[in-house]
Structure 1
Amino acid sequence: MISRIEVETKVADTRARVRKKKFTGLGDSPQITDLFIRDVYTIDKDFSQKELQAISSMLTNPVTQNYAIYSHPIKKFDTFDGAPSMNLGEHAPLSINPEQSRRIDWAIEVGYLPGVTDNIANTAREIIEDLLKTKFKDGEGIYTSQITYFAGKISRSDTQLIAESMFNPIIQRVHIKSYKEYKKAGGMDFIIPKVRLSEKPKISEVSLNVSDDELVKIGKSGIANSDGSRRGPLALDIAFMKTIQKYFKKLGRNPTDIELESLAQTWSEHCKHTIFADPIDEVKDGLFKHYIQRATEEIRVKKGGHDFCVSVFKDNSGAISFDNNYLITHKVETHNSPSALDPFGGAITGIVGVNRDTIGFGLGAKPIANSYGFCLADPRVDTPLYKGPNRTQKMLSSRRIMEGVIEGVNAGGNQSGIPTPSGFIYFDERYRGKPLVFVGTVGLIPRKIRGKPSYIKKAKKGDYIVMIGGRVGKDGIHGATFSSEAMDTGSPVTAVQIGDPITQKKLSDVIVKEARNKLLYHSITDNGAGGLSCSVAEMAKESGGCIVDLSKVPLKYPGLEPWEIWVSESQERMTLAVPPRNWQKFVNLMERRGVEATIIGRFTNSGKCVVKYEGEIIVDIGMQFLHYGLPKRPMTTIYTPSVNKEPLIPKVKDFTKPLLSMLSRLNIAGYEFISQQYDYIVQGNLSLPPLQGRGRINADASVIKPVLNSSKGLIMSQGIYPSYSDIDTYHMVAACIDTAIRNVVAAGGNLEKIALLDNFCWCSSNDSFRLGQLKRAVRACYDYATYYQTPFISGKDSMFNDFKGFDSDGKPIKISILPTLLITSIGVVDEITKVVSLDLKFPDDLIYILGKTDDELGASEYYAMVSESLNKKYIGNSVPKVDAERNKRLYQALNIAI
């Protein structure tokens, strides 16, 4: 029996009001006279009418909602490509709320495609299982969708436009019916978006005894399927492919498909950061070690006994000392490529993913604050872009991307019970092809747990390999390799995942509140990029090897290939090393908290990564080759300073108009509309909010109180100046570091207790000039971090933020982002009552400007405004330069004054 429960509000529905306003501006301005929404639960399991009534009562609020139940006796039908339309008997669309007489002209239903994570359905399934003391069997399920009904003078073409604005074809399906069609069919169709994988899972051997051209093709487009199509990018260039070819030739065999996929994940730019690690010009030890890591090492030595760094560059997050009892952790990630395809899914996956980086620090830190940052194109301008030729595979509009990423961070943070007090938004048209989505999490962990340092972990020989949390599906496959390349026609839709904050909240709580404090495991890490292939293999470095049985891994649905199970990035999963003596206690605890835990193998000291499937060994790779066998690729750079046109600045007597124009610019105007959507009060640790003063102005710094009974606080801020990279990336980085530090100092922070995080987002990183810009930028990181004595504790890079596709005329186009660096800053403040908000406090207070203003307007918002007024592109050449020695004295003096 297939049943549908349709839910409609009795009271005014804000969603409907917002949607009506949005739709009115589409197409030929359709005249919508009425619009209402129904939430739909489609249940593929036999329930009696009485049970369905009980379920409906649990899924609705009797005060504000009504529901109706419709059932169909057909049990099985193919739904992978959408179910056929079926006449289900007449039922009036208005019968839910009989007191409301409404006519409709169109109905649009939007639901998820097969295999896409449906968070509301997952929660509804759990409610039903708890309510009726039953379990959904394999093949049974519950699925959600939403119907928008509207009436008015609306053409079919306008309805189609409305539908396109409501769904993302990468993750969702849409069905449109006119009232006549709706009436004839007796309502909307019963659709079960069930994944149907008909082929039996198999392991393939991949011949590498092929030409160099074929090796290039395998590395770029993936392993060939039986029909000649390719699986998706491995992001392995010819040097990598030849190294792999040589390794397996020495073993006297070809690799299996899963071995090649595993190497691709582990060696991906996303995971190995080869551009920062490999030799570049005279820098033989790589940019990261030579500049960023060396800066931190030198600063720590110079600070001596005042060094507050505890764990840097070796765990999922960096950690500093907060007080004698606690450590503060911080990590900032990017989730750019997935957010370009599905903004909501990309952003929510990003925020819950960086939450797991916090839970995966040491033995497990508690997430206590989130941060965000968006670099986007102007949402008021819709520049059509297409991934495919002949105007196919249309990209989402700038507005859809903005709305989606904002909503994604909202859902991930608010539903996880983690405050989001800090963030920013920046606009430039060069983010149209690929947006930048920064997400960060601050964590808190006791310095010691039962007398043992909390930041030290190590999987041991004989420990069980345990996966906890969500199950594995096709979502997220090739996420790591996809993020290691430019986005183009071949970008895989399976690279998109949707995070489930409810599942993760349960996982987080049971780890950091219970299992950690009982020392039930030796090590823990996140299942992020590369899924099990990376998490297990990374932890196996701690013990010296591993053996995994993929047939033990819990799946969302049957039929996944072994290589898909191994590399899938399905969300809400973590891998732990649990000693056998603790297993029963551990699994009992997980079961009590509703978190699935499964033994999938053991850690060994064999020196090998071995993977089995149904008794057959399908991966047998030496740990040394897996992690360190990739070849070094020396890089050379070219750098020539830019020479730009200087604008003719008009003489102005009255600055009122230009001042108001400047204040209204997207990069200067407030973004309260974002801040007010995010819960920054939850957990009760807020001291200085993101919106300050009577006018609720976005502040440059926020302050939280990590330990509620302590007088200490933590200041959070950031610095970002992408436009400066048009002139000089060195001074761009200097400005980012200086601003991130200055914001903390202005809020009451001490320069001696500030730590930094770096997030590089670059473009065309195989281009010598772009590498030259990168080299200058990273050198500035060393120079200014050591000037200010502010160590880097964590960082990340995303090096191929380019879009290759087609414009509205069908012509090939490449859009590269501005070379961008986000510097995040955190500072421990000893007395939280002395932090300072930005608002003016009393009448007649004096206003001082501290520091010196020079003639440096290059790449400024003012120049951009003048350029737009003249319809020309003026950047200028005099980019603001940082005098670190002068500023350091100023910041120290200001701290004393505060």
Structure 2
Amino acid sequence: MPIFRLEIENRPAVPDALATKTAQTLSAWLGLSPARIRTRKVYLCDLDINEAEAQKVLAAIADPVIEVAATGALPDGDSADPPVILTVSFLPGVTDAVGKSVKTACEDALGRTLTGQVYTGTMYLVWGLARADVERAAAEVLHNPLIQRIRIEEPPRTPDLTVPRAGVAQTPRTEVVPLRGLSDEALERLSRERLLALSIPEMHAARAHFEAEGREPTDAELECIAQTWSEHCKHKIFNAPIDYTDPEGRTRRIERGVFKTYVVAATEDVREARALSGIDGDAGDFLVSVFSDNAGVVRFTDDLHLVYKVETHNSPSALDPYGGAMTGIVGVNRDSFGCGLGADLLANVWGYCLGKPNHSGALPKGLMHPRRIREGVHHGVIDGGNQSGIPYMRGFELFDDRFVGKPLVYCGTVAAMPVETAGRPTHEKFTAPGDKIVMIGGRVGKDGIHGATFSSVELNESSPVQAVQIGDPITQKMMFDMLAEARDRGLYSGITDNGAGGLSSSVGEMAEASGGAEVDLARVPLKYPGLAPWEILVSEAQERMTVAVPPDKLEAFLALAARREVEATEIGTFTDSGRLVVWYGEEKACDLPLVFLHGGLPKVVRTARWSPPVRAFASSSDREKALAARPVGELLVSMLAQPNIRSGERYTRHYDHEVKGLAVVKPFVGVCRDIPATATVMRVRHGRDEGVVLGEGIHPHYSDLDTHAMALACADEGVRRVLSAGARIDRMAALDNFCWPDPIKSATTPDGEHKLAQLVRACEGLYEACVAYGLPLISGKDSMKNDATMGGVKISVPPTLLVSVIGQMKDVRRALTLAPRAPGDVVYLLGETDDACGESELSRLLGLTLDGVPRTDPRRFAARYHAFAAAHEAGLLRSAHVLSRGGLAVALSHLVMASELGLSVSLDAVGRGLSPAIALFSETTGRVVLTTRAEDSAALEARLSPHGLVRLGAVEPGVSGRGYLRIRHGGQTLAELGSDALRRAFQEESHAV
């Protein structure tokens, strides 16, 4: 059938936003100054349509008011001044979500179903740059060769009609992979070449199983085992017994692994303490479902539970920042939706640890510049969330050159789950033998093959291109809407995400509920022909879920899917055979006992030894000399411009936080709505005042000194954030996300034993904080191989823990923000200030290595937080804000910019014998700056003085509508800065590209 090329561009009088952004980026990043850029959308319609229908399609998809369009090619401009033309399009097999939507639009315009596909591209017409400059722009900014192809030409041109069809016509076959008699070297080579990421003991275990069955494995069986046993899926390091030598030289065995010993134990101990204290009363256990499903579930109201999950998508985002990050957000959407029998998605959260955007050093070949990764991950999560109609409520960025090798990309989703659905508890699945296995949503392709095993090893030159995925949020949104309707009608008995490991994991995991499963891969809808059975089985192609449907509900389920234009296919049956049996037509591809698949992974005892490298710290005299060289006001302005302190608003404004209309305390607050909120608050349902409060803590730099202190600081900050917004202290829960460099000693990781000891120390700190604060851990994720070796250079991330805290409010109308309310209010600091500048923002600003990592006393702080929460309940608080990176100075600056009021504070009572600069910039944990009415100050002091309450000063009227910060010490004014000066420094990057 003929291929029709459609080109569409804005009319000359209509601004071209993409062209403008591209010109700004080329100038800022590459120093290129094009005279002019124009962009076009290109569609190659490989459909069963004729010329007249192509014209009808063009008329349907082009806006006649603001666009011009043509079949074939639009004019390229004056022949006397020809542009260089760059066209960027996808490689064969890469998901083209826009092309899929355009095909649907074509079908709607023509009123019939079409065969074939639409392939999209973006054309840049560039004037004023040489062809070599355009080639450089394409290589460094405008395309990713892993997923895209380019074409560079000059007029006159012949419209390119080449379409990137994928697939082959061959009949796929299952192969036998001999293991018997192979040496360890051969087994290791087989694992490496197939990207199985299986160790020698694991390869031995697999071989022994098949020898016992008297046969060799098929490729599908070996791949299924590899996905199921991957670090990504089985969390082998977290679950391994560990022989641990602590900082005092004492050795002990952590028999149950750090996950059960610390993470699960923290939740169990908090649960027991809540039961003994009667906190939950007659409401039932606050913890509804933890560590047993796709996400954590806690009790919220009589008719709703809350669901929360935060995931990482680090390795894919290093290869393709846009696609990797998008699959992160749409994937965690599926995790929260697929918890129990399904939950309604409320909000997304995100966070990125990246290399510094202004990185000017040499990069190992194969690594993208951090600013390109930053642009890509933002764009991917923005598209995934905005196109799904889900607002964002929290976001952060952190920068360090050690994230150049592998960025950390956190994506999370909060959801609301009905307590009951169709007469059953919604948090429970009830899949039974005989239920039909239905795959619903997107089709299967090679994208995402080996995703789970790829994420279980370090990034290097051999990392597989096919691990890169691109999500299709529109297809996924349609699937969610249809499944929510099916859930409410009771049409299925179980559901889970086709995430890591694809069907091998989703069906394999769901089969444990019934006792077995039988699948026919020949029924699975494919994006293109030619996939081998093992590829269909383990592909992680996006926007898919696996559903268990009782036989008597199948017809209704499939009819509903068809009516909602969602593809759903019965591919097998859940059984009680005890085995996962996979066919491809008449050919058996896989036959594995579930007890071996899920329980046959050999446990290896790991060794952890605390042996930190010796560090040379700056002396006290060097520190004081550096501080004396710069006035306090100058230090503060410089601090506000630091990468880890400044606003970041330019990026976050592209995320939609208003859709659904539930936000109360929004991500940015203050009179100008430009100061990041301490924590965010949102309703769950319109017309009801119960609220969800979200906050977090993350401090990877503290790990350079002590991961135990780092973990305590993360949990402590997350708790302080939600309490400072008004959360109930008895209804907080947390999620832990560990992102670690490889903690296993090897030739390439000689310090692996210390890195594993750092993990143990962090888990100990997390346990201590959670138990002290009554903070149960309800879900989490660990990512253990965050290293990159490119061009012979190894780059490892610092040990990083993100603690995400979800709190609850009875009445969102009582929520607090950080902004002072009115002149005359009194400003207080709650909590003592110590000399805690080790790995602080001050140390980076001064360029000095400082000792004294912030230490946290969770049991003492817990009493402080209970008193603080009681003061809020009594109506004594007007505003509250945590002290975090940058210390008191940054927190006070936030207050001034948010309120445009004056703040006159004294440091005389802050700290014991501390210099003013240390009192201002110390990052001592456990502190909150708050305000109250003058008439309430005595009552507040009576409650909080035993917990370290210090009066700082007062809120004053602004000058000419502008706020100011006056800092005094010993009767002298050290600095007086207007809000304009503070804001210019704080928002410096927001005005840049």
Asked if Structure 1 and Structure 2 have the same fold, meaning a TM-score greater than 0.5 normalized by the shorter chain, the answer is: yes
Equivalent residue letter for 1:43: C
1:198-597 residue pairs with structure 2 within 5 A? Answer: 198-209=169-180, 210-222=182-194, 233-281=195-243, 282-304=253-275, 305=278, 306=280, 307-386=285-364, 391=365, 394-512=366-484, 514-597=485-568
Change (3 A) 1:559 1:651: closer
Structure-2 separation of matches of 1:244 and 1:773: 31
Alignment of 1:851-890 (within 5 A): 851-867=831-847, 874-890=848-864
Letter matched to residue 789 of structure 1: G
CA contact (8 A) 1:463 1:603 kept: yes
1:492-529 alpha-carbon deviations (Å, 9 max, x no partner): 010010010000000111112x1001110110000000
Q: Corresponding residue for 1:727?
A: 705
Alpha carbons 1:215, 1:241 under 8 Å: kept = yes
Q: Does 1:657 align with 2:634?
A: yes
Superposed counterparts of 1:165-180, under 5 Å: 165-177=141-153, 179=154
Which one is further off, 255-264 or 750-759?
750-759
Distance of aligned partners of 1:779 and 1:586 in 2 relative to their CA distance in 1, 3 Å threshold: same
CA distance in structure 2 between the partners assigned to 1:651 and 1:402 by the alignment: 33
- CA distance in structure 2 between the aligned counterparts of 1:896 and 1:581, rounded to whole angstroms: 54
Q: Is the 8 A contact 1:548 1:602 kept in 2?
A: yes
In 2, Cα distance between the equivalents of 1:198 and 1:592? 32
Equivalent residues of 1:372, 1:424 under 8 A apart:
yes
- Conserved 8 A contact 1:382-1:397: no
Task: Tell me, in whole angstroms, the C-alpha distance in 1 between the residues paired with 2:836 and 2:48.
Answer: 72
Indicate if the aligned counterparts of 1:751 and 1:790 stay in contact, CA closer than 8 A: no
Q: Is the 8 A contact 1:109 1:175 kept in 2?
A: yes
Question: Identity across aligned pairs (percent)?
Answer: 44
The answer to whether the aligner puts 1:799 opposite 2:784 as a matched pair is yes
CA–CA separation in structure 2 for the residues paired with 1:834 and 1:25: 45
Instruction: Give 1:656 shift.
Output: 1.2
Indicate conservation of the 8 Å contact 1:422/1:716, yes or no. Answer: yes
Find the partner of 1:160 among 131, 135, 159: 135
Which of 840, 847, 868 matches 2:827? 847
Work out the CA distance in 2 between the residues paired with 1:541 and 1:435. 35
| Residue of structure 2 equivalent to 1:743 | 721
Write the distance in 2 (CA, Å) between the matches of 1:598 and 1:384: 50
Residue 826 of structure 1 pairs with residue 826 of structure 2? no
8 Å contact kept, 1:467–1:599: yes
Quote how far apart the aligned CAs of 1:46 are: 4.1
Q: 1:641, CA displacement in angstroms?
A: 4.6
Structure 2 counterpart of 1:710: 688
Deviations 1:617-641 (A, max 9, x none): 1211111000000101111111035
- Report if aligned partners of 1:26, 1:162 keep a CA contact under 8 Å in 2: no
1:458 shift after superposition? 2.4
C-alpha deviations, 1:861-887, integer Å up to 9, x for none? 1001111xxxxxx43331000121222
Q: 2:118 aligns with which of 130, 136, 142?
A: 142
Q: Which amino acid aligns with 1:252?
A: G
Kindly provide the amino acid, as one letter, of the partner of residue 195 in structure 1.
Answer: A
**Contact 1:642 1:726 survives alignment (8 Å):** no
**Aligned-partner SS, 1:787:** helix
Distance 1:687 1:768 in 2: 46
What are the Cα deviations for residues 241-285 of structure 1, in whole angstroms up to 9, with x where unaligned? 000111111111110010000000000000000111111121111
> What are the equivalent positions in structure 2 for 1:745-784 lying under 5 Å apart?
745-766=723-744, 767-784=752-769
- Counterpart residue number, 1:75: none
Aligned residues: 837
Is the alpha carbon distance of 1:113 and 1:214 closer, same or farther for their aligned partners in structure 2, counting shifts above 3 Å? same
Deviation of the 1:750 alpha carbon: 2.1
- Asked whether the equivalents of residues 384 and 397 of structure 1 are also in contact (C-alpha less than 8 Å), the reply is no
1:76-124 deviation per Cα after TM superposition (whole angstroms, max 9, x unaligned): xxxxxxxxxxxxxxx7324xxxxx9994320000000001011110000
Aligned partner of residue 854 in structure 1, secondary structure? coil
Q: Residue 14 of structure 1 is aligned with which of 9, 14, 17?
A: 17
- Alpha-carbon distance in 2 for matches of 1:192, 1:492: 23
For residues 386-413 of structure 1, give each alpha carbon's deviation from its aligned partner in whole angstroms, at most 9, with x where no partner exists: 4xxxx5xx32211110000001110011
SS in structure 2 opposite 1:838? Answer: coil
How far apart are 1:845 and its partner, in Å?
A: 2.2
The amino acid of 1:18's aligned partner reads: K
CA distance in 1, matches of 2:235, 2:816: 39
Aligned residue among 92, 95, 103 for 2:75? 92
Query: For the Cα contact (< 8 Å) 2:58–2:69, is it kept in 1?
Result: yes
Deviation at 1:155? Answer: 2.5
Choose the corresponding residue for 1:893, options 860, 867, 876.
867
Aligned to 2:51: 49
Structure 2: gaps spanning 5 or more residues? 244-252, 745-751, 873-993
Correspondent of 1:680 among 657, 666, 688: 657
What is the TM-score when the length of structure 2 is the normalising length? 0.83
Change (3 A) 1:101 1:892: farther
Q: Distance in 1 between matches of 2:582 and 2:399?
A: 46
Q: Which residue in 2 is equivalent to 1:133?
A: 111
Q: Which residue identity lines up with residue 196 of structure 2 in the other structure? A: L
Task: Judge conservation of contact 1:642–1:727 (CA < 8 Å) in 2.
Answer: no
CA contact (8 A) 2:26 2:33 kept: no
Equivalent-residue separation in structure 1 for 2:362 and 2:83 (angstroms) = 30
> Hey, what's the Cα distance between the residues in 1 that align with 2:835 and 2:362?
39
Deviations 1:583-607 (A, max 9, x none): 1110010001110010100000001
- TM superposition shift of 1:753: 1.1
- Alpha-carbon distance in 2 for matches of 1:205, 1:765: 34
| 1:598 partner SS | strand
User: Can you list the C-alpha shifts for 1:746-781, whole angstroms capped at 9, x where unaligned?
Assistant: 111122111010000000121111100001111111
Q: Does structure 2 retain, via aligned residues, the 8 Å contact 1:533–1:566?
A: yes
Measure, in 1, the Cα distance between the counterparts of 2:760 and 2:151: 51
CA distance in 1, matches of 2:28, 2:817: 40
CA distance in 2, matches of 1:531, 1:771: 30
- Worse overlay, 14-23 or 545-554: 14-23
RMSD: 1.5
Unaligned runs of 5+ in 1: 72-90, 95-99, 223-232, 807-811, 868-873
